[in-house]
Amino acid sequence: MATSPTLQGPGGPLVFQSVKRRRHCAECRGGPLSLLVLEGGVPRCLDCADLGHLVFLARGDTALTRRAREGSTLYAVVVRFNRRQGRYERQGLLVEEDALARAEERCLADAEVRARRRARDAKRREAEDVRFTAAFAEEIRRLFPGCPPDRARAIAAHASVRGSGRVGRSAAGRALSEAAVTAAVAAAVRHTDTPYDGLLMTGVPRQEARRRIGPAVEATLRAWRAGTATDTGTGIGAGIGARMGTDMGMGMVTGTATGMAGDTGSEAAV
């Protein structure tokens, strides 16, 4: 734990949104606290931490946040612990009320200008996305000439959605590397042409489900690489589907146990 009076965030004090809301201020005993500051490892309310005069500004409006932060002599970064991701995530800022009012006035004054700029930027990004998706589909067809053109376009469109975090938006995907393109095609075959999703729904662990459908995926990729179209809904894929009933009981038990283990993990201090 830092020894400074108040833990510092990027440019200001760090304030925590309490997950359990069971904490009380170590100084005034007020609480339970929805927002708290850690000083010397113990919680304090905003008033006792000399931050009680600040108002909360939720994240979301970039221009308003930037202007309120710039106009506030003192501000604090508000974070909350995400148990699923195992990390703290920014929720907004605490800023001076006057600074927020001035920032709101500035944003209202040039709202139309910023709206037009956003519209232009959106059109530019849309055109860039169309070109990139077309290039991604062309690369799929080059590496997998047996992949039907409509499937190549669908895979490219899915993999290259802006902000999705999918392989097409990774650095390798934007560079159209063979590994990234192959990964996108394999993922599409896995989810569309095999019983993979059904196995997961019956409780089969992800790695085990992947092992079972692996031969079907590889068979389809080999055929497409060789320039041969294949009906991936039958053959190996159907054979795997026939085994789902046998594995359902054990898969559900294993999947449930795995989920319970994840839910019992320790939570962050705040």
Taking the C-alpha atoms of 187, 192, 131 and 144 in order, what is their torsion angle to the nearest 10 degrees? 70
**pLDDT at residue 78, as a whole number:** 95
Which two structure tokens, joined as six digits, stand for 69? 């932060």
Indicate whether 140 pLDDT > 70: yes
Q: Does the structure show a pLDDT above 60 at 253? A: no
pLDDT reported for residue 8: 52
pLDDT at 85: 84
Q: In this structure, what token pair is assigned to residue 40?
A: 């010397």
The amino acid present at 234, given as its one-letter code, is T
Which residues are within 8 A (CB) of 182 and not within 5 positions of it... i.e. 6 or more apart?
143, 221
Residue 183 pLDDT exceeds 60: yes
pLDDT averaged over the chain?
82
Query: What residue type is assigned to position 129 of the chain?
Result: D
Residue range 22-43: mean pLDDT, rounded: 88
Tokens of 270: 């705040």
- Whether the pLDDT of residue 32 is over 70: the answer is yes
Q: Give the pLDDT confidence score for residue 110 in this predicted structure.
A: 87
Can you tell me which residue has the tokens 């965030």?
A: 9
3-state secondary structure string across the chain? CCCCCCCECCCCEEEEECCCCCCCCCCCCCCCCCEEEEECCEEECCCCCCCCCEEEEECCCHHHHHHHHHHCCCCEEEEEEECCCCEEEEEEEEEEHHHHHHHHHHHHHCHHHHHHHHHHHHHHHHHHHHHHHHHHHHHHHHHCCCCCHHHHHHHHHHHCCCCCCCHHHCHHHHCCCHHHHHHHHHHHHHHHHCCHHHHHHCCCCHHHHHHHHHHHHHHHHHHHHCCCCCCCCCCHHHHHHHCHHHHHHHHHHHHHHHHHHHHCCCCCCC
- pLDDT of 66 over the 80 cut: yes
What integer is the mean pLDDT of 121-140? 92
Two tokens at 264? 């019992």
Residue 91 pLDDT > 60: yes
Rg of the chain taking only CA atoms, in angstroms: 26
